[in-house]
Structure 1
């Protein structure tokens, strides 16, 4: 099972509601990815957002910068909002990162849990799912062949076009992010794509039927089960002392949940929700080394995971605490997880 970190590039918001400068946060992110590589984590993913509380709107540019200060870690999006992007340009950008990183780039496509990119790029939310379906199929065709001829509903047709540059070995690794809808599972599994499930609430056991559904559809569609990959993306933060890390992180985490929730009609985030999430059977992995190892292994056993992604910057913990959490994950948690999986 691969172990890595996902981020959205959250900006710290001070008591007066003023966000941290994007310039500062972007520079911090590069330092953090460099450390991930040094401590031996397997992959890094960065999301795409177009909001004042996030620093990153173009993941591929962050990944290109990260490719120059890392040597081994895989570099991907988490996610790229494919529905409001041009698959041609997106492929070209990630193929460029792949060349810069000597074959370490990945693209994770998603429909987008935030909608700001749709009006920004002139897309109609009424076409939310149709846009993703058409553009995903075009992206896969671009990845598989060149030149390409293609015609669809939402983009001008392509007539024997050569899409350059090409990824290393002429293939880019493409994942699909799934929030929990069966329709998304069917699409990804039928196409034979690796899937990452975002589990950001409730008891992870509730997702078991979707994981089984994904695996069954993948197999029934005739794909090689030796190539089957599935991951999970969960909110996580690590430290040496469970009580201390919980007390530090709760106000930061709750503030971000409330910022998002205010636009979605959610009730105010409560400490009881946080504590339930951290407890056994909860969706949060926010705690000490042994607690975190146990929860990661439980998820592996429950879902048959090939990848675990710790979403570690919700609400923008300080850069110093992020660096410490990354260090703990890479030097203490990851070795224990890997050792347990070898037994």
Structure 2
């Protein structure tokens, strides 16, 4: 199982001054954070796309291009690219450049977008929410397979034997990111694309039907199970002392959930929700290394995960605290999870040999 980190580029908000962090400061911090992720041996980094005043990153590929120059091994992807309001030609070109700069480490995570600001910003009608994604994903996948494109759709000008350059060294991995819509899960299975499910609230067990549906559809359409990939994106944060960490992090986390919640009609976020989220049955992975290892292994066993992504900057913790969280993840949590999974694999092989 790959272990990684995703971020949205949350800007730190100072309640004492009512001032929000300058985007340029946060962008430079993110590059330092990705560099550390690579140094401590994490497998994957993903950055989201937003067009709001509380996030610093509207173009994931810009951050990933900068990160490619200061990293060596970590995979670099979007989390997500809002394909519906993007131009697939330009999206592919940008990510092919990231792929070339990083020697083949680029990924695209395609999503419909949980926020809607990009649609009016780029001149798209929200009434076309579903058809935009279907059509543009289709074009993106075609471009990813072949350089010479003839294509016609409803929402974009047709292409007649157009050459799309530069080309990545190989087809760029394209994941489908979903928030729990069965039709999106079915689409990923039908197309044979890796699936990433965001689990940011409630109990993870409630999402089991989506994993079952994906596997069923994936196999129904004859896709190779050797290429089967499924992951989750959960909110997490790590520290040496669990009590001190949660007391520090809860106010930041709650404030961000309330800022988003006000636009969606959510009730105020409460401490009991946060504390439940940290239990085995909750969706948060927040605590010390031992707690995190146990929770990640539980989730891997529950869903058969091939990738686990900790979403680490919700509420914009201070840079120094994010760096500490990354360090603990890479030097304590990831080795602990990998060793436990290795031992489990060895036991399964021994059991099979015994039969």
TM-score range, shorter chain: over 0.9
After TM superposition, list the pairs within 5 Å mapping 1:62-141 onto structure 2. Answer: 62-141=63-142
Confirm or deny that 1:236 pairs with 2:239: no
Corresponding residue for residue 270 of structure 1: 270
Corresponding residue for residue 190 of structure 1: 190
Corresponding residue for residue 215 of structure 2: 215
Deviation at 1:17? 2.7
Corresponding residue for residue 306 of structure 1: 306
Q: Distance in 1 between matches of 2:31 and 2:147?
A: 33
For the residue of structure 2 that corresponds to 1:226, the secondary structure is: helix
Q: Distance in 2 between matches of 1:47 and 1:98?
A: 17
After TM superposition, list the pairs within 5 Å mapping 1:1-343 onto structure 2. Answer: 1-15=1-15, 16-169=17-170, 171-343=171-343
- The Cα offsets for residues 215-241 of structure 1, whole Å up to 9 and x where unpaired, read as 110010010000000000000000111
Tell me which stretches of 4 or more aligned residues in structure 1 moved more than 3 Å.
none
Q: Distance in 1 between matches of 2:72 and 2:327?
A: 17
Q: Distance in 1 between matches of 2:222 and 2:267?
A: 44
- The Cα offsets for residues 129-160 of structure 1, whole Å up to 9 and x where unpaired, read as 11001101110001111201000000000000
For the residue of structure 2 that corresponds to 1:106, the secondary structure is: strand
Q: Distance in 2 between matches of 1:145 and 1:105?
A: 17
- The Cα offsets for residues 172-216 of structure 1, whole Å up to 9 and x where unpaired, read as 111110110110011111001001000001100010111011011
For the residue of structure 2 that corresponds to 1:197, the secondary structure is: strand
Unaligned runs of 5+ in 2: 344-355
> RMSD over aligned Cα, in angstroms?
0.6
Deviation at 1:14? 1.0
Q: Distance in 1 between matches of 2:304 and 2:140?
A: 28
What is the aligned length?
342
TM-score by length of 1: 0.99
For the residue of structure 1 that corresponds to 2:19, the secondary structure is: coil
Q: Distance in 2 between matches of 1:261 and 1:276?
A: 19
Deviation at 1:279? 1.3
Deviation at 1:242? 1.0
Corresponding residue for residue 347 of structure 2: none
For the residue of structure 1 that corresponds to 2:14, the secondary structure is: coil
Q: Distance in 2 between matches of 1:195 and 1:285?
A: 20
For the residue of structure 2 that corresponds to 1:168, the secondary structure is: coil
- The Cα offsets for residues 100-132 of structure 1, whole Å up to 9 and x where unpaired, read as 000000000000000000000000000111100
